[in-house]
Amino acid sequence: MALRPEDEKLKASSTPPQVNPSSYYPDDRKPRFPSDVIKDAKNWCALRAINTKRPATPLEAQRSLFGGDAQRTSRPPSTYSLGAHHFDASDPNSRPSSGALAPIKSKLEPLKIKPLIPSIDKLTGRRKSLSAGTKFHRESSSPMRAERHMSSASPVKAYTDYRTTDSKTSSKNAKGDCVHPDTSVRYHPIPASEVVDPKTPAEKSPVASSSSSSHRSSRDVTEVETKEQALYWNTTVLPLLEGLEDSSSKEPKKLCKTCSQLHDALKKKVSFRTMMPRRRTSLLSSLFRLLNIPSDDLHLKCARIILQVRVNNKNLTSICKLLFRVSRNRNHDKLFVKNELIQPMLNLLEETDDASNKYEAIVYLCGSLKFLSENKTAAAVMYEHDCIRILTNFVATLLQAIQCSNPPKRLLKQTLDIFVQVTEAFRNMLDADKKVHKSAPSITVMMQILAMFNSDQKLSWILSRVFSKLTVYDSSISYFVKSPGWSECLLSTLDNHINNDEIAVRLCFALGNILSHDDQSRDELFFYRRAADDEDDDKDQESTCVRIILELIGKQMTRRVEKRAVADEQKEGGESKRTSSDDVVVKSIRVIANISISERVGERISRNSKLVELLMDVIESERYLMSEEIMTNSLVALNNLAYYDRNDDSSGEGARTAVYLHRIQLTSILIKLMMKENMMCYVIEIARVLGNLTKYPDVRDLVHEHKVDLMMTALMDSGDRQVVYNACGMLINISGDHHKRPPLIQERIIQKLADVMRDFAPVDWMIAGISCQLSWNLLATTDVQSLEQQDVDLLKNTLTTLLDEGKVQQKILQVTEDDQEKADFLLSSWRSDFLSFARPLLARLQDLKFPSNLIPLESSSDV
């Protein structure tokens, strides 16, 4: 028989402190003060954190850029018209600049190339006619026509150096005859120092401008190509472009195949970044015309090439709109993966250095990534391409640009729109892969975003979803507590959106997860105070965190009452259904329960009467009675608060906690709960709270008066270990009073304890140990005749068997199925949790002398 999960958890944790009631110890042991006994943290009523379910968010039925958020009408729309006419292949601003920036001209100026040998025209003083050059520009105005003209010349002739032409040609030029320029001039490999950018003014030569030369080299754009590159273009790439030109008679499937072949051909020997401008224009013109064909697959294949060519301005915005429009349909997610579009999209985002100049394009691009991240397959591909790092660095760059200057409102608005898309993509990717350690370093950046824009409802909702997901994992919580100002950021956001259930429930869930981690986070959150809260004189009782949580719970309870009243008026109030207000109350109370685990915080928060009264109202309210999670969390919070009262003579009345001041009222509420039907689900937590409250004599009298101790005795027959464990714990305090022991003994509690040891001992020695402690208190009575000798003998035999180490080892090996590691742990628990209590108890049982019922025989005188 294998160990249960609860037993395996005990192995990982340290040995819990033992129960040390003052009435248990034999007289020869060292006496202890009551305050020391309470400080030992009884395991059956000790502090503990609460776990709860993470809030779930349903998937949106229809994908949109900003969801249902209509706060800003100036945001880019989710629907728009898009076609080939929105693209311009001849736009000089749509490609990376190849030289110094200059005003855009309506027509390119002819290249001014100074020949090495002075021409005859210059010597004779004639002015060379520009008619040939003008005609040349007219003929090459169409990119595809120019490409066909280039392909008609042989490659060898195309690279003939015009400076080595024969004397006949030179003499013909000397006579002043107009000569049409040879196409070989266009293919001449001019040195880089002599290349003049068409957009550069004539008075500013690139040769004389060093800054222009460095700018061009950074863009990796060239005006020349090698002989092999030209040959490859004319023989491989150009036929494919010609095949795409007449798209009206082609089927989309064939065009898709041709586009795939074109991409492979370009990727093989043509550099997308160093492509010549005329090649680039020809390529883009062919691809833009295909966007009028109604085929999403074809559009994505074209978009892959266009993104790798690196378009800018209007063309970049249009292609990002195209990607967004296609990604709005969930059925198209597989097309992005199939066409390998995710990597070019991420590369574009990674290389963007100034998002303000590409605001609309970046918004649509990030919106497309957001939609793709909803698909697990696409999200996995995004993970492979290091999407988390790219998004984090991109967001950090935007934050740095905003923080380093005094940004205008327009820039803040644009940055906020981009953050909405990026953070939602980040959130969607958390469900695609369990490698949360890749996402954890981004927490600091996300926290900075929330601190800056915590007044925005949409962004706060998204980031609250991110934090509620990440805080589920212990490895991520350390990044939260290391982020500077995390407590201020989360509390400020919660305070700003205290009326928004969707945000409040997720932030409270995240806070509850963080507070379950360690005391450092609990202290930091509790002792943080806003400037407005410093005006309050009651600093010890109510911090900013407690004030916000109390306000949140109070508003949710009021709203629930109003909703219930409306439902009753409409005669729809049959069974009470769980609402969003209930979820907020659950997560909020969990924050109180977890933060009170810290001793520094618990001692202060336990004095807050408003908090204790609010929790009492929750468990007493009929509308929350059927909400098991609300009732359980409230009882755990009350138990944690009740733990901190110091019941010693040195403590004055002012040092007593609010739980002590309300102990009778709280006990009465708990007793009423136990008397109701179907309250067995709350018995464990009620027994925990009563275990702390029964430290006080008046509470023990009230419990005994209502026969709650007899109810706990009846629960000893339960098969639930937690029920039995907590029932024994409360009865230890009850049995400390001499006059309360006989009713328990009459209920055959000794026999029940022997059965508990026999049933649970092999796998749970803590229950066996606490049963021994309860038995010690019960046997402390001087009236031996009130004990059933049969029950005492049963207990004595059970202890004798369980104290035999050889037999114990045999039983442990049987239940652990020869698992040596588990067997060693159970044997260690037997020595620490049971042995030290069982031996003194067995010695006391052996010292008990019951009066004999035998009548002595009278001696016969007639012998």
Pick from 512, 671, 663: nearest CA to 583: 512
**Helical (H) or strand (E) element with 602:** helix 599-605
Task: Give 46's pLDDT tier (boundaries 50, 70, 90).
Answer: low
Q: Cα–Cα distance between 768 and 584 in angstroms, integer? A: 40
User: Do the beta carbons of residue 754 and residue 791 sit within 8 Å?
Assistant: yes
Q: Cα–Cα distance between 301 and 287 in angstroms, integer? A: 9
**Helical (H) or strand (E) element with 412:** helix 409-429
Percent of the chain with pLDDT over 90: 30
Q: What is the pLDDT of residue 62?
A: 62
Q: What is the pLDDT of residue 192?
A: 38
The residue type found at 34 is P
Q: Cα–Cα distance between 412 and 419 in angstroms, integer? A: 10
Most confident of 130-134, 163-167, 409-413, 699-703: 699-703
Q: What is the pLDDT of residue 577?
A: 57
Residue-wise pLDDT tens digits, 82-109: 555 555 655 554 444 443 333 434 445 5
User: Do the beta carbons of residue 43 and residue 6 sit within 8 Å?
Assistant: no
Pick from 457, 455, 458, 480: nearest CA to 468: 480
Query: What does 271-295 look like in DSSP terms, one character per residue?
Result: -SSS--HHHHHHHHHHHHHHTTSS-
Pick from 581, 584, 611: nearest CA to 596: 611
Query: What does 677-712 look like in DSSP terms, one character per residue?
Result: TT-GGGHHHHHHHHHHHTTSHHHHHHHHHTTHHHHH
Task: Give 653's pLDDT tier (boundaries 50, 70, 90).
Answer: very low
Distances (CA, A) of 302 to 61, 84, 319, 837: 29, 12, 9, 79
Tell whether the model's pLDDT for residue 185 goes beyond 50. Answer: no
Q: Cα–Cα distance between 774 and 744 in angstroms, integer? A: 11
Q: What is the pLDDT of residue 187?
A: 32
- What six digits make up the tokens of 842? 């067995």
Tell whether the model's pLDDT for residue 799 goes beyond 90. Answer: yes
Q: What is the pLDDT of residue 55?
A: 65
∠ at Cα 638 (752, 468), nearest 5°? Answer: 110
Q: Cα–Cα distance between 222 and 99 in angstroms, integer? A: 10
- What six digits make up the tokens of 149? 């003209």
Residue-wise pLDDT tens digits, 285-327: 888 888 888 889 999 999 999 998 888 888 888 899 999 999 9
Residue-wise pLDDT tens digits, 468-516: 988 888 888 888 988 889 999 999 999 999 999 999 999 999 999 999 8
Residue-wise pLDDT tens digits, 248-293: 556 888 888 888 888 888 888 777 777 788 888 888 888 888 888 8
Q: What is the pLDDT of residue 252?
A: 83
CA 690 to chain centroid: 38
Pick from 585, 595, 580: nearest CA to 631: 585
User: Do the beta carbons of residue 724 and residue 759 sit within 8 Å?
Assistant: no
| Pure H helices in 430-543 | 443-452, 457-470, 474-482, 486-496, 501-515, 519-527
Q: Return left, alpha or beta for 180; rule: phi > 0 is left, psi -120 to 50 is alpha, else beta.
A: beta
- What six digits make up the tokens of 685? 């937590």
User: Do the beta carbons of residue 512 and residue 594 sit within 8 Å?
Assistant: yes
Task: Give 347's pLDDT tier (boundaries 50, 70, 90).
Answer: very high
Distances (CA, A) of 524 to 11, 515, 535, 610: 30, 10, 20, 22
Q: Helix, strand, or coil here: 188?
A: coil
Q: Cα–Cα distance between 608 and 658 in angstroms, integer? A: 6
Q: What is the mean pLDDT of the chain?
A: 75
Residue-wise pLDDT tens digits, 602-638: 989 999 999 999 999 999 988 888 788 899 999 999 9
| Pure H helices in 270-373 | 277-290, 296-309, 313-327, 333-338, 342-350, 359-372
Task: Give 524's pLDDT tier (boundaries 50, 70, 90).
Answer: very high
Residue-wise pLDDT tens digits, 693-742: 998 999 999 999 999 999 999 999 888 888 899 899 899 999 988 889 98
Q: What is the pLDDT of residue 294?
A: 86
